[in-house]
Structure 1
Amino acid sequence: MPVVISQETLDSAVTQGVITTQQRDRLYALERTGSFNAEDAAEAAEENLRLIGGGNDLFVTVGTILLTVGFYFVLNTLLPGQRLWIAALVAVFSWGLAEVVTRQHRMKLSSTVLSLFFVISFTVALGLEIFARYPIQKPESIWQLLALRQQVSSAGYLFLGGTMAAVALYFWRFRVPILAGVFAIAATLLAFLQTAVLLYDGVTTGAVAPPRLEDMPELMRAALYMPLICGLVVFGTAVALDVYDRERRKIWSDCAFWLHVVSAPMLVHPLFIMATGQDVVMGRIEPDANATIMLAILIIAFVYVALAIDRRSLLVPTLAYFGSLGIYYLINSTANSTGIPPFALILLVVGALIITFGAGWQHIRRLIVRPTLPTSVLDKLPPIKLPSIKQA
């Protein structure tokens, strides 16, 4: 009777060093086609997001969702109006279910769904408890808003700090990569809260002059430094994890994937406004020729960085942002001109880049990154491998 080795077993063998990534990829290709050739190797070289463990994982995920939702509605019937207890029990239920699905069977997609169930239910329970302790009413005047400083800051610290602690504990127990992105988001919000509290204290003590109405555009531009700094910190952490796990055999590379997804919007939006001078928040997004050139330079820079660190997870949100921005401009533009709008060209470039990189990412990476970076830098980045080796 033939012995069948599952994909999870092969991935585990790579993680434990029993076989190499190249050997695993050759086995994948042999299983799919019965042979191994250059085309199979090229296909194996594409980035693989380990989000789903196969058909059984998808099957169990559906059961997990149905079971958790059913448990929620049972609690709604047994504990009507007890939202705090319902949310807390759903969090406990999600944790208990993860002990089987994640700890014992290592099902990737099911584990991701359960971790999100836990985070959502825990934050709801924590938010309800904090709101009960710090009842915050809608302010009717600026003076009432200023008087809420102590309550808002204390509630914010407890909520965000508690969320980060719970996410860290869950990750320590179950090692679910998406929680790295959740933790980064909570840490970013905490940094925003701390910055707002420091500015408030500075204004109330007289150390910082209160802004005038004519200073608001400059103030909003200065506020962009906060998400930019947070984005750089998250991006730097993701790159550090990529460097630590260059072969992408461990969970840290999957955590880096989600950190890149989180960092991309925080980097792209501030850099776009700073480079082009366009005020997206206030609705003025009609870049002139110079802004269009700066936008093109930004796209090229992000493309090169994504190629260097071998992360399409950084590039996809970037191109999606620029593409959606261009679509917004074209739809809302009332100009009646026979010329081609600059952003139409940007859309063409973005679309062409997505298709081109999707068809030959590894080949483009070898052509562009290898000749332009010194060996000392290349040795620290995810390796540029031959087409026969698959990037995890």
Structure 2
Amino acid sequence: MVKDNRYSLADIKEAVSEGALSHDAFDRLETFLTSHSQEALETEKFTLFRGMNDIFLALGITVLSIGWFILWGLLTNSTIFWIAPLVAIAGFTALAEYVAGKLKATLPSSIIMVSLCATIMIYLVALYMFLAGKSENIFNLDDVWDFTQQSVNVIVLIAITGFAFQVGFFIRYRLPISFALIAFGIVGVIWSLLLAWFGQPLNQYINYLVTLTGLLLLILAVIVDTKDPKRVNGWAECAFWLYVIGAPMTIHSVAAMVDTATLIMIPVLIAAMLFSLAFDRRSPIISSLIYVGYLVNSGFNHASIDPSMTVALVCFIVGALVIAFGFGWNKARQFILAPFEHKTWRSYLPPTS
């Protein structure tokens, strides 16, 4: 068997923290690798899976989780219904210790995280129903979720439980995607509390809430991102997931509020593109290009062009923009950041070369 001996700067940085390599040696090695590697130009990296074995594990855990939830649903209205989840939680925890704690496999760890969190939350809701005298209404797991939709208190319970679980999971295993879900959990707690206080009238402000939520996630992403401008430790990957969640929420909700066909979206899209280039993050610009396609399509429709031709032209324009940004990304970053190279705040942004 051929062993994969490729290591990232983050792996070598961890070796420094463990005392296996001096800080001075790491600095010299980083300088050498940066100056000799073409791959160093690509700084927005994240590791969802490292190979087919991670996908294989994720598939197995997914199938196992589906089987568990089906089995749990069949055990309703029996003593085993209350005991089986405790066994499942212990099993998922042991699996997490090995897969997330020892193997550091992100994709299968994420599946474990979702399955474990879902089991805990459903179990707590079922306990809540039992204590509230509603246990006679539990015929299957669908009834548990139906009850959840009818009780604001349960929604708050689920939001707080999910948030606390993600915090614990991140502290224990340092899974980057879990950090993003912590931020999402904070939002869930706030939303559920607002829903508990104001009720259904809150729905008319949903676009404003989504926009505010997206902006808060982007602000948090920037704060986290500036802790690791050279992208050599785990903070940059945590920030990646915050951008992935926050950027679409912000741009989509703004578009929904102002109508995507209006000209006001153009400066919003330009700002998103400049933001993407400045922070060397492609998530905001990907979200923007979706609405670029919509605006272009709207313009062609007003010109009474054949619908099939409109789709083709939009695909060519958006595709060309994506390719242009892909090939000229680093040059574009150098161009917009060149005037600010000597500014103090420039050190918080990723380098351009």
Q: For the superposition of Structure 1 and Structure 2, which TM-score range results when normalised by the shorter chain? A: 0.7 to 0.9
What is the aligned partner in structure 2 of residue 207 from structure 1? none
What is the aligned partner in structure 1 of residue 141 from structure 2? none
SS in 2 for 1:7: coil
Q: Deviations over 1:304-331 (max 9, x none)?
A: 01111111133223333554x4598699
What TM-score do the two structures reach when normalised by structure 1?
0.68
- CA distance in 1 between counterparts of 2:290 and 2:347 reads 30
- CA distance in 2 between counterparts of 1:22 and 1:339 reads 60
**1:44 maps onto 2:40 in alignment:** yes
Q: Deviations over 1:76-104 (max 9, x none)?
A: 56983246655554443222112112222
Of 376, 384, 392 in structure 1, the residue corresponding to residue 344 of structure 2 is 376
What TM-score do the two structures reach when normalised by structure 2?
0.75
Matched-pair contact (CA < 8 Å) for 2:47–2:106: yes
| Structure 2: tracts of 5 or more residues without a match | 136-146
Residues 78 and 115 of structure 1, relative CA distance in 2, 3 Å threshold: closer
Higher relative contact order (CA 8 A, sep 6+): 1
Matched-pair contact (CA < 8 Å) for 1:303–1:315: yes
- CA distance in 1 between counterparts of 2:118 and 2:28 reads 39
What is the aligned partner in structure 2 of residue 308 from structure 1? 278
Residues 122 and 357 of structure 1, relative CA distance in 2, 3 Å threshold: farther
**1:242 maps onto 2:225 in alignment:** yes
Q: Deviations over 1:109-161 (max 9, x none)?
A: 3333332332333333334444555659xxxxxxxxxxx9xx73321211100
Deviation at 1:187, TM superposition (A): 2.2
- CA distance in 2 between counterparts of 1:78 and 1:236 reads 41
1:1-392 alignment, distance < 5 Å: 6-8=5-7, 11-17=10-16, 18=21, 20=26, 23=29, 41=38, 43-52=39-48, 54-55=50-51, 58-67=52-61, 69-70=63-64, 73=67, 80-82=74-76, 89-133=87-131, 152-200=151-199, 220=204, 222-274=205-257, 277-278=258-259, 287=261, 291=262, 293-320=263-290, 322-323=292-293, 325=294, 337-338=304-305, 350-371=318-339, 375-382=343-350, 384-386=351-353
Deviation at 1:68, TM superposition (A): 5.8
- CA distance in 1 between counterparts of 2:240 and 2:264 reads 27
- CA distance in 1 between counterparts of 2:229 and 2:120 reads 34
| Structure 1: tracts of 5 or more residues without a match | 30-35, 137-147, 204-209, 212-218, 279-284, 387-392
Deviation at 1:251, TM superposition (A): 1.6
Deviation at 1:167, TM superposition (A): 1.2
Structure with the higher fraction of residues in helix conformation: 2
What is the aligned partner in structure 1 of residue 138 from structure 2? none
- CA distance in 1 between counterparts of 2:333 and 2:311 reads 27
Matched-pair contact (CA < 8 Å) for 1:101–1:107: yes
Residues 303 and 65 of structure 1, relative CA distance in 2, 3 Å threshold: same
Stretch moving more, 162-171 or 117-126: 117-126
Residues 267 and 76 of structure 1, relative CA distance in 2, 3 Å threshold: closer
Matched-pair contact (CA < 8 Å) for 1:326–1:344: no
Task: Tell me the percent identity.
Answer: 23
- CA distance in 2 between counterparts of 1:297 and 1:194 reads 34
Matched-pair contact (CA < 8 Å) for 2:163–2:189: no
Stretch moving more, 239-248 or 338-347: 338-347
Deviation at 1:162, TM superposition (A): 0.8
The count of corresponding residues between Structure 1 and Structure 2 is 328
- CA distance in 1 between counterparts of 2:246 and 2:107 reads 23
Matched-pair contact (CA < 8 Å) for 1:330–1:343: no
Residues 351 and 153 of structure 1, relative CA distance in 2, 3 Å threshold: same
Matched-pair contact (CA < 8 Å) for 1:131–1:155: no
- CA distance in 1 between counterparts of 2:352 and 2:206 reads 41
- CA distance in 2 between counterparts of 1:321 and 1:124 reads 38
